Structure 1
């Protein structure tokens, strides 16, 4: 009888102790989940900021597009306003004369982007579209190796 009482007491003690371990495991699991969510949000914020910076570097800062349609409409979504502005600037940049692009120096970030896209095996036409450079400028950058 002594052995059965000892086993019963040990079982009750182990059950009580197991309740404490479950609570800490849930807390750790919740902390890890919150941490992963915050890292995901920070990563998305950084990607969004990086995309905006890349768009600013790739677009010519001198072009100011003022379209009567865009002035009459009020767009409430700020993200939509940024996209519309970027599209208008890109459209204006493609209308610019090719001689004005040849006289301006090419930024080092764009040169490295062109070289990286070339390493990835993209065609000159695709690189030209992605970097907002003419095909001749892309050929020159690749031929010079970025110098």
Structure 2
């Protein structure tokens, strides 16, 4: 009986020493997962950085008057001025108001008002 207990004790000591010397597979797996998560974090950081740069470029382009691939907005010209506004401008001009005052009342630029008045004078001269 003593031999059996001594043999089991020796066997358990050998198994214990073997388990300490044995390579841990889970530690290697943990290191791989750590490396993988670090690489993903670096990729995400770089993507966020690129996105912020693109957003800044879009905001800069928007503040500069639009995007390069879109046509510029149409400027307000004589052809886009409604006939009622033209008649109002002409009526105010006939009443003797200044160009600046007509510009304030009609929300048109002074050169547009002068164009409307000049266009009307050409129509009246035939």
TM-score by length of 2: 0.45
TM-score by length of 1: 0.40
Higher relative contact order (CA 8 A, sep 6+): 1
